[in-house]
Amino acid sequence: MVRLVEVTICNAHYTIKTDADEAYIQSIARYVNSKVEEIQNKTKSVSTINVIILAALNIADDLFREKDRNRKYMKKVEDQSKDLIDMIERQS
């Protein structure tokens, strides 16, 4: 069911049209807002657009790093699975 969820990011209010759980959307908004605040505190930039772009780059970096960790983990699981299959086949 599609609903409207109100969030606040960088002291601005946004209405999000979504079928996702409201708590989930609020969690995402808090995460984005924390990244924006982190950048504001580090850069002391007065340009909102610059802060938003830097926050977006930081969020993209988080995503890419997590994807890379996941890829490496999946490779490790695949390798270990193959090793186990080889061991089982040798025992048979």
For the residues of 38-61, what is the DSSP string, one character each?
A: HHHHHH----HHHHHHHHHHHHHH
pLDDT (tens digit per residue) in 22-42: 999 999 999 999 999 999 999
pLDDT computed for residue 45 by the predictor: 73
| pLDDT band (50, 70, 90) for residue 51 | very high
Dihedral (CA of 22, 27, 13, 57) sign: negative
Q: Which two tokens stand for residue 43?
A: 């850069």
**Could you give the angle at which helices 48-91 and 22-43 cross, rounded to 10 degrees?**
120
Q: What percent of the chain has pLDDT over 90?
A: 88
Structurally, the chain folds into a number of domains equal to: 1
Its domain, for residue 63, covers 3-91
Q: Which letter does DSSP use for residue 19 in this model?
A: S
CB 1 within 8 A of CB 18: no
pLDDT computed for residue 60 by the predictor: 98
Segment 62-86 mean pLDDT: 97
